[in-house]
């Protein structure tokens, strides 16, 4: 905010307290940006950002170049084609190419830019793989487009019984309201489906399954707000006559069991 904008904000049609307005709006944007970080594509290294759930739920290949049991990739080049680089799935300084235990469970077409039509078999396959590894999915995450596609797949199985409205929640996060086994899907296999507009997509959004007994967000420093500039008596800090504010959150996504996490990719 410039000094001029601050001066004029209570004149005529001004916003009033422009600092409070911007502070509130940027606070919302900060939370949304954390969601963006959490849902970056696997091929995007975290850098100073938070690690992405797409990377947590990625697979890899074995050291010999043969496919890991969770993937259809048979060569390092094919892994690179799907993830942007053969080392892209590496996370927490773990070499996932050479450590099969660090592969999450993945259902994928196994080929670059090749999609397949979503079916319930894809969901059932990933459930079975995670159960076999010893995990137990507690929540599913996907986009609104894929949520509607699941709804269409289940619609043919609709049985008209007494309606039961439910809103799935997990750790305070609410999903969309739905009818039990009805036209608006709220759960599948009893697992809540949480939709998000930021979800990674191929032709349609990917589906993530999480065993949250082994997946958590560790907060090093909770969200803090800082402000400096002419209004706080320190324009030298920002090198101009104005006011600047920023939000900062320090934390990281961790999983202690890759086998309890999974994703369905390459969907259309």
- Over residues 230-248, the pLDDT tens digits come to 878 888 888 888 889 999 9
Q: What is the DSSP letter of 267?
A: B
Q: Which residue has the higher pLDDT, 143 or 182?
A: 143
Average predicted confidence (pLDDT) for the chain: 80
Q: How many domains does the chain have?
A: 1
Q: Which residue has the higher pLDDT, 162 or 245?
A: 245
pTM, full prediction: 0.78
CA-nearest of 244, 260, 202, 236 to 43 is 202
CA-nearest of 144, 149, 70, 145 to 103 is 70
pLDDT digits (tens, 9 = 90+) for 56-97: 998 764 444 443 434 434 445 545 555 555 566 788 888 877
pLDDT digits (tens, 9 = 90+) for 7-35: 777 666 656 677 788 888 999 999 999 99
Domain that holds residue 244: 3-264
Quick one: tokens of 109? Answer: 């077409």
CA–CA dist 131, 103 (Å, integer): 15
């Amino acid at each position: 905010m410039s000094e001029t904008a601050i001066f004029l904000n209570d004149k005529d049609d001004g916003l009033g307290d422009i600092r409070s307005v911007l502070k509130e709006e940027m606070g919302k944007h900060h939370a949304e940006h954390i969601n963006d970080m959490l849902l970056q594509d696997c091929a995007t290294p975290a850098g100073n950002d938070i690690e992405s759930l797409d990377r947590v739920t990625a697979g890899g290949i074995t050291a010999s170049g043969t496919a890991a049991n969770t993937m259809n990739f048979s060569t390092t080049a094919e892994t690179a084609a799907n993830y942007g680089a053969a080392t892209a799935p590496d996370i927490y300084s773990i070499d996932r190419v050479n450590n099969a235990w660090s592969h999450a469970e993945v259902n994928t077409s196994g080929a670059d830019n090749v999609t397949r039509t979503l079916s319930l078999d894809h969901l059932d396959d990933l459930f079975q793989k995670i159960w076999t590894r010893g995990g137990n999915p507690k929540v599913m995450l996907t986009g609104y487009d894929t949520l509607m596609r699941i709804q269409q797949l289940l619609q043919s199985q609709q049985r008209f019984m007494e309606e039961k409205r439910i809103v799935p929640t997990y750790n305070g996060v609410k999903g969309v309201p739905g009818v039990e086994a009805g036209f608006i899907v709220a759960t599948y296999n009893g697992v809540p489906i949480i939709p998000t507009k930021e979800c990674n997509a191929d032709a349609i959004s990917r589906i993530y399954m999480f065993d949250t007994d082994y997946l958590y967000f560790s907060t090093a420093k909770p969200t803090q707000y800082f402000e400096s500039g002419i209004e706080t008596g320190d324009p030298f800090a920002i090198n101009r006559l104005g006011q600047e504010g920023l939000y900062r959150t320090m934390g990281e996504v961790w999983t202690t069991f890759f086998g309890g996490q999974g994703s369905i990719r390459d969907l259309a």
